[in-house]
Structure formats: C-alpha cells, structure tokens
Amino acid sequence: MKMCTSYCVVSIPPLAHLSPENLEAVVRFAGATSALTCTRAGANPPTRAEVEPFLYAS
C-alpha cells in the first residue's frame, strides 16, 4: 500500500544526478535534522543555523 502526501519524494531522478559526495551530504544533513527534531517537544524542526553546528561538531 503506497501512501503519499505533498511532502514526500515521489520520484528518484533528481537524486540520480547527484554525485556520491553530494548525496552523502544530503543524507547526513537529513539525519542531523531528524536527530535534532527528535529532541524537541512537538517535533519542531530546527533551522539550518541550528543544524550546521550540530552536524560538524565531533
């Protein structure tokens, strides 16, 4: 059963044009965004300014 809203990716071709490095960057950013979102009440997504320091802190 396929369910989709206006928020989901319905086609893969745009991703196929990314280099492996850029695709990895997209996935890492999405993961960091998800991690920060899960730490907040109400699942409020972080801003880019909040994600970048979290992503590069190690």
CA distances from 33 to 6, 16, 25, 26 (A): 19, 22, 12, 11
In whole angstroms, give the CA distance from residue 39 to residue 46: 10
DSSP 3-state of 9: coil
**What is the predicted pLDDT for the residue at 58?**
58
What Rg value do the Cα atoms of the chain yield, rounded? 14
Mean pLDDT of residues grouped by 10 in the chain (58 residues)? 46 74 86 92 89 85
Measured between its terminal Cα atoms, the distance across the chain in Å is 40
